[in-house]
């Protein structure tokens, strides 16, 4: 069985392979799927769209400087 690149709650950034308008945006993985190798990412930068489904090859691990942004999203998801 293959392991997922990300799990729900991981921090991610859209890399250079991602769509131009999404590159460099940071967010939190909120879903694994809906298709194989794809993740739902809730972006924390306040820009629209805030939730996007992104293929794993277009995401890298990230750190968010303001950890309160992660807490706010986690509270909203509950």
- CATH no. for residue 19? 2.30.30.30
Residues 6+ apart with CB under 8 A from 59: 5, 6, 12, 13, 14, 15, 18, 39, 41
For residue 6, is it within any domain? no
- Strands of the chain (E only): list them: 11-14, 26-32, 38-43, 51-55, 59-61
DSSP 15: -
pLDDT greater than 70 at residue 2: no
For residue 3, is it within any domain? no
Place 4 in a pLDDT band, splitting at 50, 70 and 90: confident
Mean pLDDT on 12-23: 95
Highest mean pLDDT out of 14-18, 46-50, 70-74: 14-18
What share of the chain in percent tops pLDDT 90? 56
For residue 39, is it within any domain? yes
For residue 4, is it within any domain? no
* Domains in the chain, number: 1
For residue 40, is it within any domain? yes
Containing structural domain, residue 52:
11-77
Could you tell me the pTM of the whole model? 0.74
The answer to whether 41 touches 29, Cβ cutoff 8 Å, is yes
Place 17 in a pLDDT band, splitting at 50, 70 and 90: very high
């Amino acid at each position: 069985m293959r392991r997922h690149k990300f799990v729900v709650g991981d921090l991610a950034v859209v890399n250079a392979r991602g769509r131009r308008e999404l590159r460099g945006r940071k967010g939190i993985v909120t879903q694994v799927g809906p298709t194989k190798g794809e993740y739902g990412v809730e972006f924390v930068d306040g820009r629209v769209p805030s939730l996007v489904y992104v293929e794993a090859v277009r995401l890298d691990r990230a750190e968010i400087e303001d950890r309160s942004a992660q807490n706010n999203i986690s509270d909203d998801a509950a």
